[in-house]
Amino acid sequence: MGEKIVLGIESTAHTFGVGIATSEKRILANVNYTYRPPSGGIHPREAAQHHSKLAPKAVKEALEKAGISPRELDGIAFSIGPGMGPCLRVGATVARALALSLGKPLLPVNHGIAHIEIGRLTAGCRDPVILYVAGGNTLITGYLDGRYRIFGETLDIAAGNCLDVFGIKAGIGPMPAPEECARRGGKFHPLPYRVKGMDVSFSGLLTAALKALEGGMKLEDVCFSLTETVYSMLTETLERALAFSGKSEILIVGGLARSRRLGEMIESMARLHDARVYRVPDQYAGDNGAMIAWTGVLYLLAGQMIHVEESRIRPRYRIDEAEAAWREMGL
Amino acid sequence: MIFEAESKVIRIGAEAVVSKLEWNGLKLVSKHRVPKPYRMPDLDKWVRDRRTLHEAKIISMLKKSGVPCPAIVLMDRSESTLYMQFIEGTELRNLLHDLPKKVIEALARSLGEIVGRMHLTHVAHGDLTTSNILVDKEGRLYIIDFGLSVVTDDLEELAVDVHLLDRSLDSAHHSIREIFMRNFLKGYSSTVGREQALKIMEKVKEIRRRGRYVEERRKKH
């Protein structure tokens, strides 16, 4: 069996990305265009317009960068979900068109699993308990019997969303602004700390932080208290999941994996349990095409393709609904 | 430690260490919420203090309602430690295999009444498994570990107690599980009333159908 090459399309939220990866664990291209709204959060329809405008360019650039012709591809992967419907539809449409016109298998990648798999590949760990933290997702998971099982997750908004919205409403902008601002603070103000077993909740925390700011507390101190609380909650639930799963590796993936302070805290917790911490490299932390391409390679090797007629997007697709058959194959 | 006595660790949980000690002939357990070095000291202290206080409050509420659980002897807030009555008993989990059917029926029914009373006190335990239920020599039941409990009337949270109990009987024989839950519900229903018991059971079924009962909670927010 020769080297398999897969092109992967990411299009779940603000980023439209095209990556190319191979079964020899090579990333040949990773081209990403991110929609930045003039103000406020992402509007799904505006992001989708951005994506459809840039899609042809991104595909062309990725192929050029990889130095291959479309004929050499062995499969087309795309994020089937979870994500924002209008954005997902753009990526799915491009992927179907490519797969049909080239006559290649279509690979329906779960976006969350792609974050995990690019993390396992680039950070080099085998069987970790995973903290997946980003603007739209917060969950603690690990592999068991054919699937990534969810040990814990947020009951309302994502950790990244909590920090982003706070930053935007406070006028300093989304992450990493709140964390940078927190470094100039130092006075701790108690905010709702909601850990329920291995689940967390952030919406009350966000409201309380905004109230504290309105109440005249220094922005630096609110940022400090908020980030410390969010990261402590995540670290505590991760600690429980580590004990529960009996694993000895921790992997941090998703946009918030870039946070220095969160990394420090998790390192400190891991030392208590003789566990090793792995972090996805910054260039693969946020949404990107390469992670879809690489996970597409795994899907291809495990035979997880899909017919075009069945390739309807899945905006609420949970990672424990997706099979991860390659793990049984030792991949 | 406030009591001058030797202590022996009997349980190490996610956030607390439980030890047994004897002081002037009095058998006690201490539940110490340990500092977490990864949390900033102010935050760490605040979280541990709040949880200790919360657990003590819940236990005293339950004691007043006659729900059998270990009495609190002393709370040492500076150390985030609760000192409680030591209950000479065995975890229900370890007894299920050996007891005769008649005894299991009686235990299950009595547990149903106790959990019913706890729910009438608006407390959901949050981790109601057969490891958190003790049986003493006289066959009396006690509920322990209120670390995850909440004061609530939310049907869902109350139903999760029943669901977790049922799931924790997983390791027991299928027929035991069936007999246990049937009698548990008799006791529960006789305490909270038939109508409320039916509502709870409807919720339990729904939770079971959902698998990991998350999708629904998310929609609520």
Q: Are residues B46 and B105 in the same domain?
A: no
Q: Are residues B213 and B108 in the same domain?
A: yes
**Partner B contacted by A221 (CB < 8 A):** no
Q: Are residues B54 and B109 in the same domain?
A: no
Q: Is position A260 within any domain?
A: no
Q: Are residues A238 and A304 in the same domain?
A: no
What does the pLDDT average to over B119-148?
94
Contact B158, B199 (CB under 8 A): no
Give the Cα separation of A65 and B167 in Å (integer): 53
Q: Is position B1 within any domain?
A: no
Q: Is position B2 within any domain?
A: no
Q: Are residues B188 and B106 in the same domain?
A: yes
The contact set of B with A (CB < 8 A) is 14-15, 36-40, 42-44, 46-47, 50, 126-127, 148, 212, 214-215, 217-218, 221
Give the Cα separation of A285 and A258 in Å (integer): 7
Provide the shortest C-alpha distance from residue A124 to chain B (in Å). Answer: 25
Q: Are residues B177 and B119 in the same domain?
A: yes
Q: Are residues A86 and A149 in the same domain?
A: no
Q: Kindly tell me if the per-residue pLDDT of B108 is higher than 50.
A: yes
User: Is residue A26 very low, low, confident or very high in pLDDT (cuts 50, 70, 90)?
Assistant: very high
Q: What is the pLDDT of residue A41?
A: 76
Token match 């969160």: residue?
A262
Token match 């919205």: residue?
A165
Catalytic residue among B42, B98, B127, B153: B127
Q: What is the pLDDT of residue B171?
A: 67
Q: Are residues B95 and B167 in the same domain?
A: yes
Q: What angle do CA A210, A195, A209 make, to 5 degrees?
A: 5
Q: Is position A36 within any domain?
A: yes
Q: Is position A163 within any domain?
A: yes
Residue of B nearest to A149 (CA): B212
Write out the two tokens for B203. 């919720």
Q: Are residues A37 and A79 in the same domain?
A: yes
Contact A77, A95 (CB under 8 A): yes
**Residues forming beta bridges with residue A131, ordered by sequence position:** A140, A252
The percentage of chain A sitting over the pLDDT mark of 90, rounded to a whole number, equals 90
Q: Are residues A224 and A291 in the same domain?
A: no
Token match 């077993």: residue?
A197
Residues 6+ apart with CB under 8 A from B194: none
pTM comes to 0.88
User: Is residue B169 very low, low, confident or very high in pLDDT (cuts 50, 70, 90)?
Assistant: confident
Q: Is position B80 within any domain?
A: yes
Q: What is the pLDDT of residue A205?
A: 97
Tens-digit pLDDT profile for residues A175-201: 999 999 999 999 999 999 998 878 899
Q: Across chain B, what does the average pLDDT equal?
A: 90
Q: What is the pLDDT of residue A49?
A: 96
Give the count of domains, chain B. Answer: 2
Q: What angle do CA B48, B53, B57 make, to 5 degrees?
A: 150
Identify the CATH number of the domain in which residue B212 sits.
1.10.510.10
Residues 6+ apart with CB under 8 A from A177: A167
Cα–Cα separations (whole angstroms), residue A111 to A284, A317, B3, B86? 13, 9, 54, 50
Contact assignment for B218 to A156 by CB distance below 8 Å: yes
The domain boundary residue, chosen from B52, B85, B118? B85
Q: Kindly tell me if the per-residue pLDDT of B102 is higher than 90.
A: yes
Chain A residue numbers with beta carbons less than 8 Å from the beta carbon of B14 are 239-240, 243
Chain A residue numbers with beta carbons less than 8 Å from the beta carbon of B50 are 193
B44 is an active site residue? no
The domain boundary residue, chosen from A219, A246, A273? A246
Q: What is the pLDDT of residue A268?
A: 97
Q: Are residues B68 and B53 in the same domain?
A: yes
ipTM score: 0.85
Q: Are residues B123 and B207 in the same domain?
A: yes
Q: Are residues A157 and A225 in the same domain?
A: yes
Q: Is position A259 within any domain?
A: no
Q: Are residues A10 and A105 in the same domain?
A: yes
The percentage of chain B sitting over the pLDDT mark of 70, rounded to a whole number, equals 93
Q: Are residues A28 and A137 in the same domain?
A: no
Helical axes A219-245 vs A203-214, angle rounded to 10°: 160
Tens-digit pLDDT profile for residues A261-304: 999 999 999 999 999 999 999 999 999 999 999 999 999 999 99
Determine the residue among A138, A155, A227, A319 to mutate to test chain B binding: the one whose Cβ has the most chain B Cβ atoms within 10 Å: A155
Write out the two tokens for A115. 């974050």
Q: Is position A273 within any domain?
A: no
The domain boundary residue, chosen from A246, A270, A300? A246
Give the Cα separation of A257 and A83 in Å (integer): 19
Alpha helix segments (H runs only) across chain A: 44-66, 85-102, 111-123, 159-169, 177-182, 203-214, 219-245, 260-272, 289-301
Q: Are residues B58 and B138 in the same domain?
A: no
CA quadruple A94, A98, A101, A102: dihedral, nearest 10: 180
Q: Are residues A187 and A228 in the same domain?
A: yes
Q: Is position A49 within any domain?
A: yes
Q: Are residues A138 and A105 in the same domain?
A: no
Q: Are residues B150 and B45 in the same domain?
A: no
Strands B150-151 and A249-253 come out as unpaired
Tens-digit pLDDT profile for residues A8-20: 999 999 999 999 9
Q: Is position B153 within any domain?
A: yes
What does the pLDDT average to over B163-175?
82
Tens-digit pLDDT profile for residues B28-58: 999 999 999 999 999 999 999 999 999 999 9
Determine the residue among A150, A232, A321 to mutate to test chain B binding: the one whose Cβ has the most chain B Cβ atoms within 10 Å: A232
Residue of A nearest to B214 (CA): A155
Identify the CATH number of the domain in which residue A220 sits.
3.30.420.40
Q: Using CB atoms within 10 A of its CB, is residue B99 exposed (0-12), middle (13-18) or buried (19+)?
A: middle
Q: Is position A267 within any domain?
A: no
Contacts 24+ apart (CB under 8 A), A56-61: A57/A33, A58/A16, A58/A17, A58/A18, A58/A31, A58/A32, A58/A33, A58/A289, A59/A7, A59/A9, A59/A18, A59/A94, A59/A98, A61/A18, A61/A29, A61/A31
Q: What is the pLDDT of residue B3?
A: 79
Residues 6+ apart with CB under 8 A from A288: A10, A15, A17, A19, A30, A32, A118
Q: Is position B151 within any domain?
A: yes
Cα–Cα separations (whole angstroms), residue A325 to A296, A298, A305, A308, B58? 12, 9, 12, 21, 46
Q: Is position B29 within any domain?
A: yes
Give the Cα separation of A222 and A172 in Å (integer): 13
User: Is residue B211 very low, low, confident or very high in pLDDT (cuts 50, 70, 90)?
Assistant: low
The percentage of chain A sitting over the pLDDT mark of 70, rounded to a whole number, equals 100
Q: Are residues B106 and B200 in the same domain?
A: yes
Q: What is the pLDDT of residue B128?
A: 93
Range in A3-7, A87-91, A242-246, A278-282 the model is least confident about: A242-246
Domain span at residue A82 reads: 5-116+285-327
Is A132 strand, coil or helix? strand
Chain B residue numbers with beta carbons less than 8 Å from the beta carbon of A268 are 37-38
Is B98 strand, coil or helix? coil
Give the count of domains, chain A. Answer: 2
Provide the shortest C-alpha distance from residue A34 to chain B (in Å). Answer: 28
> Taking Cα atoms as reference points, which of B116, B98, B110 lies closest to residue B176?
B98
Q: Are residues A155 and A222 in the same domain?
A: yes
Q: Kindly tell me if the per-residue pLDDT of B214 is higher than 50.
A: no
Q: Are residues B182 and B133 in the same domain?
A: yes
Give the Cα separation of B12 and A298 in Å (integer): 40
Identify the CATH number of the domain in which residue B58 sits.
3.30.200.20
**Which residues numbered 97-136 in A keep a CB inside 8 Å of some CB on B?**
none
Domain span at residue B20 reads: 7-85
The domain boundary residue, chosen from A199, A221, A246? A246
Q: Kindly tell me if the per-residue pLDDT of B136 is higher than 60.
A: yes
Give the Cα separation of A283 and A281 in Å (integer): 6
Q: Is position A265 within any domain?
A: no
Residue of A nearest to B42 (CA): A188
Give the Cα separation of A177 and B132 in Å (integer): 44
Give the Cα separation of A3 and A6 in Å (integer): 10
Write out the two tokens for B85. 């009555």
Token match 């130095």: residue?
A67
